Amino acid sequence: MVLAGGFFALGVLMFWFTRQFSYDGLQSFGTGFWPRVIAAIMMFCSVLLFVQSMLSKDPAKDEVVIDWKSAGMKRVYLVAAVLIVFCVALYFVGLCPALLVMIFGIMWSMQERRIPFLVITPVACSLFIFVAFQVLLKVKLPAGILFQ
């Protein structure tokens, strides 16, 4: 129930922080449309989670046992570290180089060890995002402070 309340509050904050984004209704979505859609979905799901938690009568569900040293949790720690490195790399070198690091790191943490896939997939994804957004859609991608 605490998580449901936290996610509901996060959805409300998303609405609050996007109030200055342009939104002209369904004729012209603007930059505020998708963040508000995501916030609404998050609030709806958190209400469902809260109701489900209130109606749950099984006492065995209240017992949550987490093995903090299991292989699955180590993988979670590794993915969290990869995402932190991605955020730092995004700040310094920009989106496309940071995506290379993130995609490689997530693939490695998910036990992918085939070298061709570990090289081709991050490069192809970063190249696709660069071409689709920077070249075709003329959207300026974050460049990072080292390349500005």
Per-domain residue ranges of the chain: 2-58, 71-147
CA 106 to chain centre: 13
pLDDT of residue 44: 95
Give the global pTM. Answer: 0.63
The CA-CA-CA angle for residues 87, 38, 34, to 5°, reads 85
One digit per residue, the tens of pLDDT, for the chain of length 148 reads 888 899 999 999 988 888 777 766 666 666 777 888 889 999 999 999 999 888 877 666 666 677 888 888 999 999 999 999 999 999 999 999 999 999 999 999 999 999 999 999 999 999 999 999 899 988 888 888 998 7
Instruction: Note the pLDDT of residue 42.
Output: 93
Please tell me the distance from the alpha carbon of residue 12 to that of residue 7, in angstroms, as a whole number.
9
Residue type, 21: F
Q: Can you tell me the distance from the alpha carbon of 11 to that of 22, in angstroms, rounded to the nearest whole number? A: 18
- Asked if residues 11 and 39 have their Cβ atoms less than 8 Å apart, the reply is yes
The span from the CA of 112 to the CA of 114, in Å, is 6
Read off φ and ψ for residue 119, nearest 5 degrees. Answer: -95, -50
pLDDT of residue 111: 92
Instruction: Please report the pLDDT score of residue 92 as a whole number.
Output: 94
